[in-house]
Amino acid sequence: SNRPSVAQLLAQVRATALAAQDHQDLPFEQLIEALNPPRSLAHHPLLQVMLTWQNAPEGELALPGLQLLPAPAGGAAVSAKFDLDLSLHEQGERIAGSLQYARALFEHASIERHAAQFVALLQAMVEDDSGCVLRLRLPLLPESEQAQLLAFNTTEAAFDAELCIHQIFEQQVRLRPEATALVFEQECLSYAELNVRANQLAHHLVDLGVGPDTRVAICLPRSTEMVVALLATLKAGAAYVPLDPAYPAQRLAFMLEDCHPTVLVSRSDCAQALPASVGVPLLSLDAPHPAWLLAPQHDPLVPALTPAHLTYVIYTSGSTGLPKGVMVAHRGLCNLAQAQIRAFDVQPDSRVLQFASFSFDACISEVLMALLSGASLHVPAPSVLAGEALAQFVAARRITHATLPPAVLAALAPPALPHLRTLVLAGEASSAALVRPWARQLRLLNAYAPTETSVCASMHECLAGQDTAPPIGQPIANTRIHLLDAWGQSCPIGVAGELHIAGAGLARGYLNRPELTAERFVPDPFGAPGSRMYRSGDLARWR
């Protein structure tokens, strides 16, 4: 049976063990020769975990004038022959034993947890041997583990939950209007200049019917206009939908049809890449005598707009081949921006690199990291996004904060970037070899960044002496992570479970995909009534 009871499973194990004893005299060397397993100096060729049950009768030894007692197992350090070696035997009315382990693979605290979990499993099996072994309900986690899991998720921090993204930007405009906000190639805009351009475009968008929870598609290359259009869309109350001009026409057509934007903001050189018949009003920013440059320059007021309204819809690749649009609101993005500004120590004199493609959510985190803190945002041209050209750009612009994929970082050298203070790795797994030289020179963080949780859910600060691949770390501010088994129970520390994410950054769901939204955004039994959490599909374990 694929779902045996405890008693059935024990019977199966007993039958398998007895059958194996028919071949117990087979020489080990002959077994290895017949199986020819892959050889490695890192582990035993056949097995890594051993369970030994010693049930041989104990002999009695009596010596006049002496009381003889069995020596406790594990009294002296021995060299482990396997990764894990559990030896058990009867001792009167009890079962005793010892657990040997490879210290290169396990910490003592982890082994103690595993031993306690094994005992708890045995107790659950004894209490109900008729129940399905897959549905065993283990006792509650020990108090020490409950306290540790609670500490992992104690992430409450103050943030501007009642403000929208553009309102925090406008605060910076009032604080430092003449400070540099945006630099692209030879163009440099102050906070006041950037705000005026965004305001003019926002007023024009409102005149075109844009408002809260409507969508504005933006198809622009890396440029000043890209950032202006993003801010203008938020100021008009709408959500922006980034379209990469390099995408295939079929993908662009699907995204436009699916998001049904009120207007499409583009440029003449990009509009050529768009499908011939999109059925969406086109606002070309480089058209002759553009009307939007005659619009009012003051901050627009959209009375109905709240932090619960959307900031963007970003399309990610779907398992069915069709992209799915993730809807993210102002409140989650405000929490992300302010959490990153604190964690990365972004100051008004900081210089932030805008590396990510506009069609990725990492782009908005870079933009907000700079523009919500009074720092300057530096946008490189497409020709300088890798290798020596990127290193020269970062050095010449004296960039202090950057977020890069590990594959891009691997082509750079730490000594060439003396001004870089904080570096964030995101987008893919990293390695200890890559991290080590950078962690000696600057502050290096590894981020776990699902789109469905407002860009980033957790971070880990990497240390120079770290000899293992960096983990994804602990949840960011106002974010909770739960590792759950197949029945929704919290996994003990060290046990893998599906990673669920809850908190302020949770996306609203998938645009026009209610079934998929219900499947991936599920009720949060650990939160307040009505709260939800995101099922990531990723496996993780607490360390």
Q: Are 257 and 325 in contact (CB under 8 A)?
A: no
Q: Are 337 and 372 in contact (CB under 8 A)?
A: yes
Q: Which residues contact 247 (CB under 8 A, 6 or more apart)?
A: 255, 273, 359
Which of 151-155, 261-265, 279-283 is the most confident on average?
261-265
Q: What percent of the chain has pLDDT over 90?
A: 58
| DSSP-assigned letters across all residues of 41-72 | TTS-SS-SEEEEEE-SPPP----TT----PPP
Range with lowest mean pLDDT among 136-145, 158-167, 333-342? 136-145
Which residue shows structure tokens 């739960």? 482
| pLDDT for the residue 74 | 53
- Show me where the domains of the chain are located: 1-21+82-139, 165-540
Task: State the SS3 of 124-180.
Answer: HHHHCCCCEHHHCCCCCCCHHHHHHHHHHCCCCCCCCCCCCHHHHHHHHHHHCCCCE
| pLDDT for the residue 1 | 65
Q: Are 421 and 441 in contact (CB under 8 A)?
A: no
What value does the mean pLDDT take over residues 240-246?
Answer: 94
Q: Which residues contact 8 (CB under 8 A, 6 or more apart)?
A: 1, 133
Q: What is the mean pLDDT of the chain?
A: 89
Regarding the domain delimited by 165-540, which CATH topology (the fold level of the hierarchy) does it fall under? Rossmann fold (3.40.50)
pLDDT at position 51 over 60: yes
Buried b (16+ CB within 10 A) or exposed e, 184-207: beeeebbbebbbbbbbbbbbbbbe
Cβ atoms within 10 Å, residue 291? 11
Segment 159-185, tens digit of pLDDT: 999 999 999 999 999 999 999 999 999
| pLDDT for the residue 141 | 66
Dihedral over alpha carbons 183, 186, 188, 193 (to 10 degrees): -120
Segment 376-412, tens digit of pLDDT: 999 999 999 988 899 999 999 999 999 999 999 998 8
pLDDT at position 441 over 70: yes
| pLDDT for the residue 71 | 64
Q: State how far the Cα of 197 lies from the Cα of 166, in Å rounded to an integer.
A: 13
Task: State the SS3 of 422-471.
Answer: EEEECCCCCCHHHHHHHHHHCEEEEEECCHHHCCCCEEEEECCCCCCCCC
pLDDT at position 319 over 70: no
The residue with greater pLDDT, 320 or 344, is 344
pLDDT class of 140 with cuts at 50, 70, 90 = low
Which residue shows structure tokens 């964030």? 424
